[in-house]
Structure 1
Amino acid sequence: MSLVAGSYERFIWGFKLKTLKHSTETLTLSPLFSFPSHLSPIKSVAVAGSVAVSGGSDDTIKIYDLSTSSEIGSLNDPTSTVTSLVLYTPPSLHSFPRNLFSAYDDGHVSFYDADPFVHLKTMKVHKKGVNDMSVHPSGKLGLTVGRDECLGMINLVRGRRSFFCKLGKEAEIVEFGCGGDKFFMGTGETVSVHEAEDAKLVSELKGEKRVLCLAPATVGFVSFMISSCI
């Protein structure tokens, strides 16, 4: 398993997650690469199989080959700061993603064919910047949340926005569950659970700290609530 991280200092790091020989429960990280990939802070990173991508404030998407620990190219199509990246891999494929979806600070979303990373379409989804994007396990539907306090739904097959609604609050995070029947949004200190079919609110989980990231799991959903100590 590979772990890729970006920083505000323009650097990107790659690590290999390994199990120690004499222990099946103890894991260790082995460095793969580290270099200043972007000209400005890195805002988003995504990994699928042997491919990793990163997007930053320099309006550029970088592509990496994890098998050789090297940068293999870049995409200069972004219209603004890259705020979210999603690599979609169908269940039938394991080593290489089929599509790349990217969201930007000017409200646009772009579609790419991941082999060989050809730009397919860019469309306007939000009036203000997109905070986050998530793709349904089927690859046919995408969700976005933005600084305009709205939720957008995109038909990824036809390449058009199919639903748009006002939330009343700005959501920073949106994520589909592994099964695709529900999605989750992080708004301030609250995680809300919704039905994917009609966006009906199922429940809310409130914490004492701001939610910074959400991660799906096969037995539920994991949220990380972290606040700055500054």
Structure 2
Amino acid sequence: MDVLVGTYEEFVLGLKLQKQDEKYKLSQTFSDHGQCGSVRCIAVSGKFVACGSSDETIKVYDLQKRIDFGNLIKHNGTVTCVDGFKSENLLSGSEDGTICIWRTRGWECDRTLVNAHKGGVTSLSIHPSGKLALSVGKDKSLRTWNLIKARTAYVKNLHAVGDLVRWSDEGTRYLVVIDSTLTVYSTESADVVYVVKTKGRIHSAVFVQEDILAIGSESPNVELHNLRTGSLLVSFEAHEKRVKALAYAAAEGETFLCTASSDGFVKVWKLQVPFHFLKTRREPWPPEKVSFFNRDGA
């Protein structure tokens, strides 16, 4: 399993989680200093990895060959968010208020959604079907995009600037983060499914599955919530400082949660309890830390 990390020091680090003799090891496979600004976002599209930066460019890497594939230059502001769909498309959002739709074949900008969000795009997410996308921005709105026609399908006004938006893997739900409040909505009805309020700003959130949500915030703890029962499954101390990023992956029949923090550590945790059991379980269960990697400023 590959883990990719962007740093304030303009580096992109490639890490690999490997299992040897029943033990896991997270080791560095490459390091690239190819951008002139801090790395703000990373997304995978097929064999390619796209990294958006404050230098207004998107650096593309071929993950299979471990080579620099070049820069995408279209935005006139910090690239704040990127998201990929299979090996076909990539979306990028910027402080310039635009969203670009890129085709990975030839890496050409197919469409530019001008004035997507006045003041800047803060986050975006592509629906698992590849036909829709969600975005939030400085204009305090949540926009649904029809990617087939490359135009707005629906606009929802928010009471404040949205910091993060994410679809679930099956597309039945999506989440919106505003400061320290996370709200989960039903895609079919647009009704509120679940609301979480943390003591500090929420920096990252992912659906581990349709009913399980992981949250990282100003706290050194990671929270996992069960949406079906409407309860907190567990809150465990993952780092010494705030949790800046979360990602999950399934490999060889097991599910892993990756966490990155301002303490300079990247850690991988194995979620030990079968997910069908989590749908009804209410008491805490402890994830197992299987490996970690340290680099100051990660």
Task: Provide the TM-score with structure 1 as the length reference.
Answer: 0.90
Name 2:138's counterpart in structure 1: 147
Q: Percent identity?
A: 30
User: Can you give the 5+ residue segments of structure 2 that lack an aligned partner in the other structure?
Assistant: 220-240, 243-261, 263-298
Cα 1:197/1:79, change in 2 over 3 Å: farther
The answer to whether structure 1 residue 216 and structure 2 residue 207 are counterparts is yes
Encode CA deviations 1:136-164: one digit per residue, 9 max, x unaligned. Answer: 00001100011121111110110001111
Structure 2 distance, partners of 1:48, 1:126, is 24
User: Can you give the 5+ residue segments of structure 1 that lack an aligned partner in the other structure?
Assistant: 90-96
Name 1:93's counterpart in structure 2: none
Structure 2 distance, partners of 1:168, 1:33, is 42
Per-residue deviation at 1:48? Answer: 3.8
Per-residue deviation at 1:30? Answer: 1.8
Name 1:70's counterpart in structure 2: 67
Per-residue deviation at 1:105? Answer: 0.6
Structure 1 distance, partners of 2:157, 2:206, is 24
Alignment of 1:70-219 (within 5 A): 70-89=67-86, 97-123=87-113, 124-218=115-209, 219=211
Name 1:34's counterpart in structure 2: 31
Helix, strand or coil at the partner of 1:122 = strand
Encode CA deviations 1:148-191: one digit per residue, 9 max, x unaligned. Answer: 21111110110001111210122201000111011001112211
Per-residue deviation at 1:206? Answer: 1.5
Q: Which runs of 4+ in 1 moved over 3 A?
A: 227-230
Structure 2 distance, partners of 1:71, 1:31, is 17
Name 1:58's counterpart in structure 2: 55
Name 1:22's counterpart in structure 2: 21
Per-residue deviation at 1:49? Answer: 4.1
Structure 2 distance, partners of 1:223, 1:49, is 26
Encode CA deviations 1:40-70: one digit per residue, 9 max, x unaligned. Answer: 1111111244311101111111110112222
Cα 1:57/1:176, change in 2 over 3 Å: same
Alpha-carbon RMSD:
1.7
Structure 1 distance, partners of 2:5, 2:116, is 27
Paired positions, count: 220
Helix, strand or coil at the partner of 2:175 = strand
8 Å CA contact retained: 2:46, 2:88: no
User: Could you tell which deviates more after superposition, 3-12 or 137-146?
Assistant: 3-12
Per-residue deviation at 1:112? Answer: 0.8
Cα 1:198/1:159, change in 2 over 3 Å: farther
Letter of the 2:118 counterpart: K
